[in-house]
Amino acid sequence: MNGGLTAHAMDDNDDVPIPEPARELLTGMRIGYLSTSRRDGHLGAVPVAVVRDGDVVKISSPAATEKVRSLRSDPRVALCVPDPANVTRYVEIRGVADVDDDVDRAFINWVAREFMGEDEYPHESPNVKRVVVTIHPRNISMPHVQGG
């Protein structure tokens, strides 16, 4: 890697504004890879649908997942979102996550309306409890990968 964009928080408790090139890559709904520290001490990485909301990133998840249990124990995360047109271009966001109940499935149903053309999220029972994971960036990078 050489060059690229990097933004760091001045303090570990400060959010970093998402720079314009990263905002562009995070427009719409994207697929990213969320890494967490599992409760057993190992790292875990899972694909997730990602939506940028201003200077935070949001993910919807069923509440009863290892990912959510891990985040409740240790909110530190790393999220890598590749450019679907060129996977050697990506944004990495390291930060902390808040986990909140998705009351009345409002967020997941908004995602369904906005990005799937459906009134309600169609891929599971409406009885499944969901959460909204909000990632607060502390460090953002968009490295230039050689050959990309």
- Which token pair is 18? 């998402």
Residue 2: band (very low, low, confident or very high) from pLDDT cuts 50, 70, 90:
very low
Tell me which DSSP letter residue 129 carries: -
pLDDT confidence tier of residue 88, bands split at 50, 70 and 90:
confident
pTM: 0.88
Q: Cα–Cα–Cα angle for 84, 89, 90, nearest 5°?
A: 80
Residue 1 — very low, low, confident or very high, per pLDDT cuts 50/70/90? very low
| Domains of the chain, each with CATH number or no CATH | 4-143 (2.30.110.10)
Share of the chain above pLDDT 90, in %: 80
For 27-61, write each residue's pLDDT tens digit.
Answer: 999 999 999 999 888 999 999 999 999 999 999 99
Alpha carbon distance 135, 137 (integer Å): 6
Q: Three-state SS for 145?
A: coil
Does residue 65 sit in helix, strand or coil?
Answer: coil
